[in-house]
Structure 1
Amino acid sequence: MSATMLAGMAGLSAEAAKFPVVVTQVQDPFGTPTAIPDTAPAQGMWRGVFAWPLNAISMGLLPSGKLVSFGSPPDDAAVQSGRYYDIWDPSKGFDPSGHTILPAVANVNSFCSTMAFQADGSLMAAGGIFEAGVDKGAAVVNGLGTGVSPLGAQMAADRYYSTMLSLPDGRQLIMGGSYPYNGGWADPQGSINKGFMSGMTPEVYDGTRWSSLFGANSRDAFGPENNRWWYPRAWIAPNGKVFGISAEKMWYLDPTGNGSIAVTPFKEPQRSANSAADAPNVGPSSTAVMYDTGRILQLGGNSYDNSSGFLASSRATLVDITGGNPVLTETAPTKIGRSWANATVLPTGLVAVTGGSLWDDQADGNAVLPMEMWDPKTGAWTLGPAASIYRGYHSTALLMQNGTVLTSGGGAPGPVNNKNAEVYYPPYLFTSVNGKAALAPRPQILSLTTNRLNYGQWMQVEVTAQAGVSQVVLLGLGLVTHSFNATQRRMVLNAGVSSDGTVAVQAPASANVAPPGYYQLVMIDQKGVPSPGIIVAIGPNTAAPPLASAPTPAVIAVASNAGGTTGG
């Protein structure tokens, strides 16, 4: 979609909502930055370290716009416990009143579990560690973030460190993982002989029961060697199958019938290296993101776990699965090698990489505090500002509706045990006014004909945008843990200006491109500035989000911005 197609949006009136779904404008969770460095339009900025009620080892954005996080009890960030769920209402900012702690249900401990949305908007956290001798259950956080309940169905396998996705048909697929705290690379065959590697057989949940996909059982994809079972990196591919990377292997899993899987080599396995550029970008300490439809960025890592003693990798690889067979292309290496970093795709297609360590999970002199930004148009990395807090193993990063990246967690085990959060503001949120940095004027979505779309469906969107609208995108709501966010994916939508000046937007044509679930709808203006995101549901059986709201962007005088330029 070209910029000229959506030109002419400037001056659109917001005096009255044109469409039935009216977007409630809520307070920006982080307020207005008061000290903006002059480098912000080029590099962005970090803003503040804020208290968080617990160690956010797992974090997710709910359809209501609230955040759920878990990983420790509120009173001790060093304790491993997924029995306390913090629900944060971003509209209340970082005031303690914005947080509510929900206790988990009996016989489920979601520490080191995996997450996926169900069709009703609830979030399922499946697997984890032992609770009263049971670790095959799942907890369900409702879409409003007001309660937790048991799933009511038990998996066949122990699932500690597994990955779960929603399939195009709406079922949940879980794969990988093992018996908690046992099994893996140090004793591969012994781990299998002792029954610790039951996660090598994937399972699917149909809304009532779990079923094992015995035809997709795979030691190569989910086995103990090189800890392939540690949170396999996996995505729904454009061909409808599941594509994944597990340490030095990559694979396609077909979930139909009894299941099947085809595994091929990806790269050499983890090993000792003399330089970050020599270290392979594989293993559970790497990070990966689907930054565009069928296009994946895989980077960093080079470790079996959080204490292998291997130097972190700076390599970055593009994996193109748009044509079926994966095509690998090396892109520029990161400026700094990183283990246990987090990669977050932004509305403009840039990828922000935050946190990590030069060696395993080491802080102090090995902590990597500067973030980096990758541009898919050039393949180049830009080194950005430094965070204040080390985020390594067990840390999280999530794209917020206001366009910032919230980082939290880390530790349990140390070297840090973080009960805090820090916020990164990307360059697109800033402009230059008379040589000084300021917040950029932003588009704002005011109303929609619907916030629940079927595939290929068109809708109308009312937008106010001083600089016009050049692009409309969808981004999957983030569910992140252990340096991997399986649900974030970015796609550009067909769009055009309607006769009344509103924007007509078409939902993706296929569930293979946009699996059923929840997404942020974002308008990007001709200066590259995104609107705050509106949460919408995609899929014929996906429930509409419980409300439509977005943070109100801070306003700067339009006259003073004349001739200003926006950082990209």
Structure 2
Amino acid sequence: MIPTAPKLPRDGWVATASSEESTADNAAARVLDGDRATIWHSRWRTASSLPQWLTIDLRTAQRVSGLVYTPRADHRNGRIGRYEIRLSLDGTAWGAPVVTGMMADDETVKTIGFAVSSARYVRLVALSEAGDRGPWASAAEIDLLGDPGLPPPTQGDPSVAGVWGPTIGFPLVPAASAVLPGNKLLTWAAYAVDNFGGANGYTQTAVMDLTTGQVSRRQVANTGHDMFCPGTSMLADGRILVTGGSNATKSSIYDPRTDAWSSAPDMTVGRGYQGQTTLSTGEVFTVGGSWSGGRKAKAGELYSPKTNKWRSLPNVSAAPFLTADPAGVYRADNHAWLFAASGGRVFHAGPSAKMNWVDTAGQGKVTDAGTRGDSRDAMNGNAVMYDIGKILTLGGAPAYEKADATKAAYTVDITGGTPTVRRTADMAAARAYVNSVVLPDGTVMVVGGQSYPVPFSDQTSVLVPELWNPATGKFTKLATMATPRNYHSVANLLPDGTVFSGGGGLCGKCATNHPDGQIFVPPYLLNPDGSRKPRPVITAAPVAAAGGAAVTIGTDRAVKGFSLVRISAVTHSVDNDQRRVPLSSTAISPTSHRAVIPSDPGIAPPGNYLLFALDNVGTPSVAAQLRIG
């Protein structure tokens, strides 16, 4: 059970600030008076500037796990935008921020969580005003959250368990995310930053600059598309196709080269929670999705970037993909695990116990590919291609919600055409609503989830991630997370070989919204003392290559090999475009290497990839970006 962190009693607390407009009764003490109509405001009658800070003295050291910021309701000026929170035991030594981020420019109460820590002093630092209206900061009320009573975090040897970075606050709940060129991360929620519902025709988005840590927010309205619970695909040219969701027939495209959203043609069928993936042809296949747009069987369709049109596939019925969910098709056709293969075909690995091959030519065709070993239906489990034609599936439950999840994991090898399924070692914990991320060395990180899945709940959360090793077939426990990541959470491999994990919730005025994320540093980057290992550097690499091409890659030292990981997008834990492709290479010299791009676009579908060099102990470089096709 994951208890909710309680608000600490404020008796005896003292608030101080870097500046306050005391003549207007805007003193720091007002954040503790229990009246939202009174506020602290930094000095505004005379010169003021940012940053400004507000410090709460709890009078004694206590266990603290979050800060609740209530913005002023009478006026927008002074609402805090970018912020950081620092802790201290003595009011003098503050250390690094425990959380940084950006708050939305609205009246909603903001809950900012962070790892449980002992502190007497908690300082909220305003780095910007949310609407850039002036050099001010304000707050109506400040509360602090106590220890939720979680088990003590297990860290262990960093070279075995990895480490988590500080919490990063977002101005929305990141329920969908995609890695962008320029070391940036795109996230989005729904029509609201913390809630969904209806078909409102606009979406709240945020972009995090992974280099600076700064987050910028934007409302996207020009496409008329509420992009909650969509299908997501990375197109061959690096654009992101987002389909369906709350506006069930809509399609939108984000172009990272211009930082612009545009409309794409409507789908032939309205969908939400559909399965979707980019094919070897560069087209996009989608199927199912009865959460939105009507509860009925929803056959597949195909989007062509060349013609900018959708084409129905009437012979690709949703029926072969269904689970036996007691809620019927509304839940049974959700979140299909789809993998592009040669010749425009698709392999369907689940979450139904039955697997299928899909031919997208003409009117389409579905061929039975057998069952996934002794697996039951595994809705809200996960699947990832960790090597050429090799898929790891894990977790899930026989129903979308309120059914026990499983610890079971399987490997599915489709290289021979007829799938070969093997049961690999079980995970330490059962998980549904789980994310998995393939790493450059072929291991797979498993993040978050619940052992008994219930939407918008943090009960039965699994806070210990695991790492699966294909060489041993076993899972290893990693360092404990600070925040549950369940329904509406995401995880992405970042260009520096770390992993972003964030989101969860998106349920309005609930206690389980998590508008934040953390970055995990995997064991392969760390020494036992927690210091960073030396890592190879790619000194030269092409920015584009055709399938079958031999490319020259320069490094600053001898390396063992190279791998490609396709840049992809994730929503509701589904990341069908994610795959790792190890490259065949030979050394020309200790620092010059010839690598061959697979000629079959079914192995390396066209699109943007992260190119990693790995040294003799498996430490990856920071990635170079390579476009294939």
TM-score (norm 2): 0.70
1:124 to 228, 231, 241: 241
1:398 to 492, 502, 526: 492
Q: Is 1:212 aligned to 2:212, yes or no?
A: no
> What is the CA distance between 1:100 and its match in structure 2?
3.9
Equivalent residue runs for 1:406-425 within 5 Å: 406-413=500-507, 416-425=512-521
Structure 1 contact 65–535 (Cα < 8 Å) conserved: no
Equivalent residue runs for 1:294-443 within 5 Å: 294-305=389-400, 307=401, 309-361=402-454, 363-413=457-507, 416-432=512-528, 436-443=529-536
2:577 to 487, 491, 516: 487
Q: State the distance in 1 between where 2:479 and 2:258 align.
A: 33
Q: Is 1:44 aligned to 2:162, yes or no?
A: yes
1:250 to 340, 343, 355: 355
Query: Residue 25 of structure 1 aligns with which residue?
Result: none
Change (3 A) 1:288 1:37: closer
Query: Residue 227 of structure 2 aligns with which residue?
Result: 110
Q: Is 1:85 aligned to 2:205, yes or no?
A: yes
Query: Residue 150 of structure 1 aligns with which residue?
Result: 263
Change (3 A) 1:377 1:281: farther
What CA deviation, in whole Å up to 9, does each residue of 1:368-412 have, x standing for no partner?
A: 000001100000111111100000011000000111110111112
Query: Residue 261 of structure 1 aligns with which residue?
Result: 366
2:556 to 444, 461, 464: 464
2:185 to 61, 67, 73: 67
Q: State the distance in 2 between where 1:494 and 1:317 align.
A: 26
Q: Which amino acid aligns with 2:500?
A: L
Q: Which amino acid aligns with 1:216?
A: V
Change (3 A) 1:226 1:378: farther
Structure 2 contact 291–330 (Cα < 8 Å) conserved: no
Q: Which amino acid aligns with 1:462?
A: G
Structure 2 contact 178–187 (Cα < 8 Å) conserved: yes
Structure 1 contact 228–246 (Cα < 8 Å) conserved: no
> What is the CA distance between 1:237 and its match in structure 2?
2.6
Q: Which amino acid aligns with 1:91?
A: T
Q: Which amino acid aligns with 1:401?
A: P
Structure with more relative contact order (C-alpha pairs < 8 Å, separation 6 or more): 1
Q: How many residues align?
A: 468
Query: Residue 454 of structure 1 aligns with which residue?
Result: 546
Q: State the distance in 2 between where 1:355 and 1:512 align.
A: 30
Instruction: Determine helix, strand or coil for the equivalent of 1:431.
Output: coil
Structure 1 contact 216–260 (Cα < 8 Å) conserved: yes
Instruction: Determine helix, strand or coil for the equivalent of 2:159.
Output: helix
Instruction: Determine helix, strand or coil for the equivalent of 1:462.
Output: strand
> What is the CA distance between 1:61 and its match in structure 2?
1.0
What is the alpha-carbon root mean square deviation over aligned residues? 2.5
- Sequence identity percentage: 27
TM-score (norm 1): 0.77
Q: Which amino acid aligns with 2:518?
A: E
What CA deviation, in whole Å up to 9, does each residue of 1:493-518 have, x standing for no partner?
A: 01122248312221112101011111
Q: Structure 2, unaligned stretches of length 5 or more?
A: 1-95, 99-153
Q: Is 1:201 aligned to 2:291, yes or no?
A: no
Structure 1 contact 38–437 (Cα < 8 Å) conserved: no
Structure 1 contact 281–300 (Cα < 8 Å) conserved: no
What CA deviation, in whole Å up to 9, does each residue of 1:269-301 have, x standing for no partner?
A: xxxxxxxxx9x5533311111111111111111
Structure 2 contact 156–479 (Cα < 8 Å) conserved: no
Q: Which amino acid aligns with 1:516?
A: P
> What is the CA distance between 1:246 and its match in structure 2?
3.9
> What is the CA distance between 1:67 and its match in structure 2?
1.5
Instruction: Determine helix, strand or coil for the equivalent of 2:280.
Output: coil
Structure 2 contact 176–570 (Cα < 8 Å) conserved: yes
> What is the CA distance between 1:204 and its match in structure 2?
3.4
Q: Structure 1, unaligned stretches of length 5 or more?
A: 1-32, 184-195, 269-277, 540-568
Larger radius of gyration: 2
Structure 1 contact 404–423 (Cα < 8 Å) conserved: yes
> What is the CA distance between 1:359 and its match in structure 2?
0.5
Structure 2 contact 372–421 (Cα < 8 Å) conserved: no
> What is the CA distance between 1:364 and its match in structure 2?
4.8
Q: State the distance in 1 between where 2:369 and 2:440 align.
A: 32
Structure 1 contact 67–90 (Cα < 8 Å) conserved: yes
Q: State the distance in 1 between where 2:226 and 2:370 align.
A: 35
Q: State the distance in 1 between where 2:185 and 2:376 align.
A: 30
Query: Residue 283 of structure 1 aligns with which residue?
Result: 378
Structure 2 contact 283–304 (Cα < 8 Å) conserved: yes
Which moved further from structure 2: 490-499 or 173-182? 173-182
Q: State the distance in 1 between where 2:251 and 2:458 align.
A: 37
Q: Which amino acid aligns with 1:400?
A: L
Instruction: Determine helix, strand or coil for the equivalent of 1:527.
Output: coil
Structure 1 contact 473–493 (Cα < 8 Å) conserved: yes
Structure 1 contact 518–538 (Cα < 8 Å) conserved: yes
> What is the CA distance between 1:144 and its match in structure 2?
2.8
